[in-house]
Structure 1
Amino acid sequence: MTPSAPHAHDHAHAHTHEHGGSDQQDAPAQVLDLDAELFAPYLASVTARVAGAAGGGVTHVVDLGAGTGTGTFALLERFPRARVTAVDSSPEMLARLTGSARAKGLGDRVRTLEADAGAGLPGITDADLVWASASLHHVDDPAAALAGVHAALRPGGLLAVAELDGMPRFLPDEAVAGRPGLEARCREALDALQAERMPHLGADWGVLLVAAGLTVEQERTEPLELRPPLPASTGRYAHLVLDRVRGALDGRVDPADLAALGTLLDGGPADVRRRDDLVVRSTRRLWLARRPADTAS
């Protein structure tokens, strides 16, 4: 479900390319898990809102772009009578999710489907709920993807689209590594890169949902900010994201800015894993839309 260039699951959490830095191939999965850990209260509030809109009787949930399964497991907890079909284009992510489900004693409630989010949901026609978290902005053709979701939902079924505004921000407002405005400039350059590669990031999904024949029932935008004291994992999260950002922006920003980013990642005294002044900021959006009950299959 996310970055288009690296695996679909770096979520906002970077949406960048892999590079040969200290973070290895497991970085996308680590980013997903750390994001879910740090923003756990938000995920709980969103799934509660989704459960309220979905009502009783939810027995089949689809997690579209499931990644490591953070959404899958939150939904299994929220809907204790449901099974979840976890959909992802990465067999590695699905294997990881399956292993986690077994370890949690939930293996009998999870099945997996290897499929691209934009290519429909083959074999699924009875979903009570489709959960698409940071996945739809990666599709090439939103109309085709939403048509597939529409077909997968039962009449009266609910689609929850959860998106975010790009990479989280971490650095304090004052100058960092001797470069005032460092993160803002990097964010601007990254936004330009993402606009080239993921033109649907930041899209108005409400309009697209209506065009797909769904009825939008709720739309919410929530700016989130986590301030010190923060969990120890915050520095690791910031390091993973900013390392991937540095790789993506190589040659696209002032070399002095790239070098300043390096001082935040090199294990020295300014490394983000050592800082106690990080502030995690991210904007999350949610749309809840329903397939009309009287729509023919």
Structure 2
Amino acid sequence: MTSTEHGHRHDGPDGQEEILDLDAEVLAEQLASIVAWLPLRSAPRRIVDLGAGTGAGTFALLDHFPDARVTAVDSSADHLRRVRQKASRAGVDDRVETVQADLDAAWPDLGTADLVWASASLHHMADPGRTLREIRQLVAPGGLLAVVELAGLPRFLPEDAPANRPGLEARCHAAADRRAAEHMPHRGADWGVPLADAGYTVEARRTVAVDDGRPHSEAVGRYALLVLRRMRDALAGELDADDLAALDELLDTDGPGSILRRDDLVVRTDRTVWAARP
């Protein structure tokens, strides 16, 4: 997955690993609710996390299924190193295996799994249909595939912010969506039809929304800063000068308009999960 979110090629500037870790921290309740909802016939003992990134899904699955082992697959050696470090600190390194692989190329031998977890990964694949067919070989009889898809990057600011450029974040997201449509046409897709075409039966589908109005934590501020910084880098040629200037004010951590100084940040995002069987 060529990803700015979770795990296949992870190109981009420094800070990507921190974004993934903050995503896992800030959206931990959302992720745990998705894992708990999965319509499993029995507790899985072997799980494969495809496009594991720095382990958000891996550790949520380990927490919920204490008898399971997880194989975390990703193309980034740095991200898998981080997964192993976290596993060691948590005392679960005996339950985690890491496999470095580019899933657009030759697939490694991953055996079979009771649960295959693919979060924010399929939309980065060159041929998602091929990937889904490969995954069928992984799912053990009676097992489950969980596909989790992002609607897009999270939003943080009120709609009328900042005061000098109301609606700035909405315009940034609109520009980002246009770029995604060109470079990642499957992002935000409804995976029901591709799953059926690849020979799966979708047993359940659920969308989990987050619109957290609680006072934001330091982690939310840092998360917002890094996400908007990446958007600014990607969209520098697509936003007008006034929007860029307003965005730079938000990203100036020493300035009075820094996003880290705001007390009105919330996290707004949603993710949809499809639970399917071959």
Aligned to 2:29: 41
**Which digits, 9 at most, give the CA deviation of each residue in 1:186-222, with x for residues without a partner?**
1111100111111110111011111111110111123
Gap change, CA 1:175 and 1:110, over 3 Å in 2: closer
TM-score, structure 2 length as denominator?
A: 0.94
1:18 offset after TM fit, Å?
3.4
Match of 1:286 in 2: 273
Unaligned ranges ≥5, structure 2: none
Which structure 1 residue ranges, 4+ long, deviate > 4 Å from structure 2? none
The amino acid across from 2:196 in the alignment is V
For 1:175 and 1:102, how far apart are their aligned partners in 2? Answer: 42
**1:44 Cα deviation from its structure 2 partner:** 1.1
1:80-159 equivalence runs, <5 A: 80-119=66-105, 121-159=107-145
Are 1:207 and 2:207 an aligned pair? no
Match of 1:31 among 19, 30, 37: 19
Q: 1:10 aligns with which of 2, 5, 9?
A: 5
Q: Distance in 1 between matches of 2:208 and 2:142?
A: 27
Aligned AA (2:268): R
**Aligned letter for 1:113?**
V
SS in 2 for 1:54: coil
User: Deviation of residue 124 (structure 1)?
Assistant: 2.1
Which residue among 199, 207, 210 is the counterpart of 1:221? 207
* Alignment partners' CA distance in 2, 1:16 and 1:55: 34
State the identity as a percent.
53
1:93-118 per-position Cα deviation (integer Å, ceiling 9, x unaligned): 11111111112111111111111234
Q: Is the 8 A contact 2:45 2:68 kept in 1?
A: yes
Partners of 2:219 and 2:154 lie apart in 1 by 15
TM-score by length of 1: 0.88
CA contact (8 A) 1:101 1:110 kept: yes
Paired residue total: 276
**Corresponding residue to 2:224 among 227, 238, 246:** 238
**Alignment RMSD:** 1.9
Q: Deviations over 1:31-76 (max 9, x none)?
A: 11111111111111111112xx123251110011111112111111
Is the aligned partner of 1:171 residue 2:157? yes
**1:218-270 per-position Cα deviation (integer Å, ceiling 9, x unaligned):** 11123311123121211100000000000000111111111110000112121
Question: What's the offset of the Cα at 1:119?
Answer: 3.9
